[in-house]
Structure 1
Amino acid sequence: MRAPGVDILSTAGSIESASSAGPVGSASSAGEFRRAEARTAHNYHPLPVVVEHAEGAWMTDLEGRRFLDLLAGYSALNFGHGHPALLQVAHEQLDRLTLTSRAFVHDRFAAFCTALGDLCGKDLVLPMNTGAEAVETAIKVARKWGYEVKGVAPGAAEIIVMSGNFHGRTTTIVGFSDDPDAHGGFGPFTPGFVMVPYGDLAALEAAVTENTVGVLVEPIQGEGGVVIPPDGYLRGVREVCTRESVLLLADEIQSGLGRTGRTFACDHEDVVPDVYILGKALGGGIVPVSAVVADRDVLGVLRPGQHGSTFGGNPLACAVGHAVVGLLATGEHQARAAELGVLMRRRLEALVGHGVLAIRTRGLWAGVDVDPAIGTGRAVCEALMTRGVLAKDTHGSTIRLAPPLVVAAEDLDWGLDQLAAVVNR
């Protein structure tokens, strides 16, 4: 439902015309978009929107037009744009201290690590910056644990990964991706990874050997299109890892911190991994914050000089991250994601057979497979843009919806009205 007085693009248009449309807005937005395209490497294919301001679930372009954000920075903005409590903490910390490096201890470090460890039910926290950096950290820790604790022969450690995975963009990580766009042209790649089909417990069990030190899994595959594994799969993975003395590494970078209606997506099956890999929403949409969280018998294998990060665990990151953990500790945002997720699922289910082939939802997160006869996912997102809604496509005709957890129910309903109008024509 549109807020009174909001100037939202109201042109319905067709998917075909939206696909060929140039940048929205007047010369100002168009000019900024062209300048960006001319002077930046094309590692992204952004929608032609130039955002100048944002608040809550809404973003405003240079001409003052507002767009409902149904992407939330790939879950980095779970708490919306400019959450007042998070902004206040960030402003206060900016005036005090922003960076010391880990060569020293600052006064926000212990409080953040303690709070995050308590939220996860784990002993130790290793703060980093980006999600990919946290995944790389978890890989190193798992290998070192395998050599020092499990007794795997030097250089022989293997980590089992899943088809359709997305864990970041480093050369090591893309080396065990099966997405040609991710790994094509970037080899040679790091050895030591074994891929099995996502959701196939029997294949996982068959792949475990005496050299297996970890299983790296997304409880829900976000980049893949919000792909949810079969019921009981995560519990089965947990049982295999426990029986075979293998670390379960849960990449909750997109799925964690309230997105699915629980603190972690693993919570839906009462599974506790050996290692939580966290990021995105942990920074509150203000600063990059990631972390690896595990018990002492796992993270304790690291000793000084063996791993590090200049900005990891910096004062500003710890202040904001601690405030994020405080928001999650109340359970309010998890409950809100669960409640609004029911609304979103109900609205999306009504579209199946009417321009939509299938949907997958968990909490306030959805993958929507659009009928290719309607258009590509990109075309659908461009058509939504002309109606004042921003979303993101993936893998052909699939679009992902991940509204900020603070979105108003009436705004979410209005946004889904726009989706219905685009696909059901």
Structure 2
Amino acid sequence: MGYCDIKAIEECLAEYHERIAAVIMECLHGAVKYALESIIALPSDLTSDRTSTEIQYSRAVYDLCKKYNILFIADEVRQGAGKTGKFFGYQNLGEDVKPDIVAMGKSMAGGFYPCSYIVGTDEVMSLVGTGEMASTFGNTPLGCAATHATLDLIDEPGYMDRGPFLGAWFQREADKWRKEYTFILDAVSCGTDMCLYIDESNPTVTGRKIAALCNLKGMLVTSFTNRVRMSPPLVLTDEEMTRGMEILKEALDEVTEYDDVPGMMWTGPE
């Protein structure tokens, strides 16, 4: 079932809703273009419609869950804590959207301590009895203190504006690179989640090779087959953002100059 294919999810839930307890999804993450190309033909310069199309899809899934009495679980582990300009990514779907369960993690403790949280409606959370859900390291004082400090920072005026600001910065630069480098298929950003899609038909250019060059130059990025993904924190300074874009540009310039780059080979499962 293709992402952003509203018809497909509608048909699925209509036929199987009695067997489906819940739908869990990341409501906004910026990968809409390539998902949609498997369904309909899209213009190569698709930009502003990405986010609105993704919001329409996620909102449709939410409405379908309500229609068929299916729990809607918002995955905010990656895009929560202000990365999209709102505290939760699902808040981009409308003020009336209230997930049954919200899963949080990663940046909720500012990267200082590994914490995860689950919140939900009274109707859902009251189903869990005493002792039915536990964690060996749950409720650690250090994790709680890190989370409180992070929330205080997020509450500062203008802090959550940083995500869209940095995302727009990346998009401006990356749109120029698309014209300069024929191997860049597309560049997408959703707040501080940023990604370059790479045409790997030329064996001298791969997403992992570009990522390896960035890593050697001092900027850690996530690499996959045919893409290079970055997800910097909101506390990234303008100077750090400038240097990060310089390193990425250097990697794009140099990727065809080397046969092999340390770290470019993936040894894990595909």
TM-score range, shorter chain: 0.7 to 0.9
Does residue 243 of structure 2 align to residue 417 of structure 1? no
- 2:5 corresponding residue in structure 1: 200
* Alignment match of 1:363 (pick from 182, 191, 199): 191
State how far apart, in whole Å, the 1-side matches of 2:33 and 2:134 are.
Answer: 33
Cα deviation for residue 380 of structure 1 reads 0.5
Does residue 215 of structure 2 align to residue 385 of structure 1? yes
State how far apart, in whole Å, the 2-side matches of 1:325 and 1:360 are.
Answer: 28
State how far apart, in whole Å, the 2-side matches of 1:244 and 1:370 are.
Answer: 40
Cα deviation for residue 331 of structure 1 reads 4.7
Q: TM-score, normalised by structure 2?
A: 0.77
Cα deviation for residue 225 of structure 1 reads 11
Cα deviation for residue 313 of structure 1 reads 1.7
Q: TM-score, normalised by structure 1?
A: 0.50
State how far apart, in whole Å, the 1-side matches of 2:172 and 2:54 are.
Answer: 21
Question: Contact 2:221 / 2:230 at 8 angstroms: preserved in 1?
Answer: yes
Q: How many equivalent pairs are there? A: 229
Does residue 257 of structure 2 align to residue 257 of structure 1? no
Does residue 36 of structure 2 align to residue 212 of structure 1? no
Which has more helix, going by share of residues?
2
- 1:322 corresponding residue in structure 2: 148
Cα deviation for residue 424 of structure 1 reads 4.0
1:263-322, CA deviations, whole angstroms, 9 ceiling, x for partnerless residues?
122122224322110001112212211111111111110111221112112222112112
Q: Among the aligned pairs, what percent are the same residue?
A: 28
Gaps in structure 2 of 5+ consecutive residues: 36-50, 255-270
Question: Contact 2:101 / 2:118 at 8 angstroms: preserved in 1?
Answer: yes
1:4-31, CA deviations, whole angstroms, 9 ceiling, x for partnerless residues?
xxxxxxxxxxxxxxxxxxxxxxxxxxxx
Letter in 2 for 1:364: T
State how far apart, in whole Å, the 1-side matches of 2:54 and 2:31 are.
Answer: 18
> Which is worse superposed, 214-223 or 408-417?
214-223
Q: How well do the aligned residues superpose, as a CA RMSD in angstroms?
A: 2.4
Does residue 96 of structure 2 align to residue 268 of structure 1? no
Letter in 2 for 1:215: V
Question: Contact 1:378 / 1:393 at 8 angstroms: preserved in 2?
Answer: yes
State how far apart, in whole Å, the 1-side matches of 2:100 and 2:5 are.
Answer: 20
Question: Contact 2:3 / 2:32 at 8 angstroms: preserved in 1?
Answer: no
| SS of aligned partner of 2:85 | coil
Question: Contact 1:389 / 1:418 at 8 angstroms: preserved in 2?
Answer: yes
Cα deviation for residue 212 of structure 1 reads 1.9
| SS of aligned partner of 1:388 | coil
1:82-135, CA deviations, whole angstroms, 9 ceiling, x for partnerless residues?
xxxxxxxxxxxxxxxxxxxxxxxxxxxxxxxxxxxxxxxxxxxxxxxxxxxxxx
State how far apart, in whole Å, the 1-side matches of 2:79 and 2:205 are.
Answer: 28
- 1:408 corresponding residue in structure 2: 237
Letter in 1 for 2:228: I
- 1:282 corresponding residue in structure 2: 108
Counting only pairs closer than 5 Å after superposition, residues 29-178 of structure 1 correspond to structure 2 as none
1:381-419, CA deviations, whole angstroms, 9 ceiling, x for partnerless residues?
11123333221102x120111122111213212221221
- 1:91 corresponding residue in structure 2: none
Letter in 2 for 1:391: V
State how far apart, in whole Å, the 1-side matches of 2:157 and 2:139 are.
Answer: 25
State how far apart, in whole Å, the 2-side matches of 1:321 and 1:252 are.
Answer: 15
Gaps in structure 1 of 5+ consecutive residues: 1-195
Q: Could you say which structure has the larger radius of gyration? A: 1
Cα deviation for residue 226 of structure 1 reads 10
